[in-house]
Amino acid sequence: MITGRTLVLSVDRDDDIGWKAKVESPAIGRAACLAAANTLALADPEDSDINAIFSAVKIYDELVANGEEAAIAVVAGNHLHMIDGDRRIATSLEQVIKETKVTNCILVTDGAEDEYVIPIIQSQIPVSSIRRVIVNQMPNLEGTYYILKKFLDDPKVARMVFIPLGLAMLLYAIAYLLDYPGVATIIVVGVIGAFLLYKGFGLDEIVHSVIDALRVSLSRGRFSFITYTATILLIIIGFTNGFINVLKFYSTDNSMGLLLYLMTFIFGSIEWLVVAGLVTSVGIIIDVYTNEREGLGKVIVFPFFVVAIGFILYAASVYIISVSGLPDFPLTTDESTKYVLYATVIGIASAIIGVIVQFIVNKRTSDQRKQEIIEVM
């Protein structure tokens, strides 16, 4: 039998109570949870989180009726950014545990998405039971249409579905207007494929992290805010040059394969992307040096690796394009072979220098830390 005090916890990972009902979380106590559920019901009577909160209250009442010591709370995340939301849930749960003095938890959710936070909850308090609340729906065509409509009305789903399709259609129309009908299909497939890879590899979280880094660096007055902003502009310029380069060589040879498209894109954009990487690296190094000097060894290697990758990619693109015999390419095969050799040597040398510099910086940082410890003792 479970001993101690039990927390009945309702998790609203996408923060519907805050987004729709303007209720601050965490809501602690039976009265606060009921007020949150009623406010959300008035704001959106069809939201499934209402049922989850009422179910949590019912479980809490049953525990109290059986003579158990119990507490109840609702914690919420973030409606648009799941990483920030999960961090907020962890912070709110810590506050709830501190105020209620609970020793175990019964988790109540309205779907599988909320259960992604189970590891976060288990890291702070044992989970003795999980209750998933599912609302019954009538399985007819009208109900299915209504569910789909509500599904697509969700801002998160709308961004995932409408934005890539709309962008692909817009680019398709632009390609036709510019008299590149063959490129239009490639653009549409490329946009959809890029979006699927973007979501599949979790690049959206990286983009959110970049946005968060911009916000943090601005709020703390960090130098990296300037370099991050410059990096974004340089990346846009680089991608633009890359696409222009693809269109330029496509106009002379419309039988190019996917590999040549990629290589011509790299050939046109790599210089700008390398500069963008160097600018970002400089900003990070300056921030770490001025604020967290003990971590300098982890970031000092960045610019060296950026240069190494840039040289190697540039040489590879030059060689593959020249070997393919693409018309109007400014370099011959012999010249490209020399580029590959020189660039590979420079790239490897840059990486080796970066590792050496990192080793020296780490050693000096370690020596300084040891000296500080000795002085304190």
Confidence of residue 159 (pLDDT cuts 50, 70, 90): low
User: Phi/psi at 129 (nearest 5 deg)?
Assistant: -160, 150
Shared-domain flag, residues 93 and 228: no
Domain boundary among 84, 103, 132: 132
Shared-domain flag, residues 107 and 243: no
91-95, 116-120, 284-288, 290-294: which has the highest mean pLDDT?
A: 91-95
Confidence of residue 71 (pLDDT cuts 50, 70, 90): very high
What is the percent of the chain with per-residue pLDDT over 90, rounded to a whole number?
A: 7
The predicted pLDDT at position 72 comes to 92
Shared-domain flag, residues 263 and 350: yes
Tell me which of 144 and 361 has the higher pLDDT: 361
Asked, for residue 254, whether it belongs to a domain, the answer is yes
Instruction: Report DSSP state, residue 112.
Output: G
- Lowest model confidence (mean pLDDT) among 6-10, 13-17, 81-85, 272-276: 81-85
Number of domains in the chain: 2
Which residue range is the domain that position 27 belongs to?
A: 6-132
What mean pLDDT do residues 179-202 have?
A: 71
Three-class secondary structure of residue 72 per DSSP:
strand
- Cα 216 to chain centroid, rounded: 16
In the sheet that holds 127-132, the strands lie side by side as 27-28, 70-76, 6-12, 104-109, 127-132
Q: Judge whether residue 290 has pLDDT over 60.
A: yes
Tell me which of 252 and 15 has the higher pLDDT: 15
pLDDT, tens digit, 9 for 90 and up, residues 302-328 = 889 989 988 888 888 888 877 776 666
Confidence of residue 34 (pLDDT cuts 50, 70, 90): very high
Shared-domain flag, residues 307 and 217: yes
Report d(CA 318, CA 331) in Å as an integer. Answer: 8
Shared-domain flag, residues 235 and 335: yes
What is the percent of the chain with per-residue pLDDT over 70, rounded to a whole number?
A: 77
The predicted pLDDT at position 138 comes to 46
Q: Judge whether residue 377 has pLDDT over 70.
A: no
Asked, for residue 171, whether it belongs to a domain, the answer is no
Tell me which of 14 and 213 has the higher pLDDT: 14
Report d(CA 342, CA 318) in Å as an integer. Answer: 12
Other C-beta atoms lying within 10 Å of the C-beta of residue 72: 30
What mean pLDDT do residues 183-193 have?
A: 72
Domain boundary among 132, 151, 178: 132
- Lowest model confidence (mean pLDDT) among 14-28, 171-185, 345-359: 171-185
Asked, for residue 109, whether it belongs to a domain, the answer is yes
C-alpha closest to that of 317 among 329, 302, 301: 329
Asked, for residue 106, whether it belongs to a domain, the answer is yes
Asked, for residue 215, whether it belongs to a domain, the answer is yes
Please measure the distance between the N-terminal and C-terminal CA atoms of the chain and give it in whole angstroms. Answer: 50
Asked, for residue 175, whether it belongs to a domain, the answer is no
The predicted pLDDT at position 109 comes to 82
Shared-domain flag, residues 220 and 333: yes
Shared-domain flag, residues 221 and 366: yes
Shared-domain flag, residues 111 and 253: no
58-72, 220-234, 259-273: which has the highest mean pLDDT?
A: 58-72
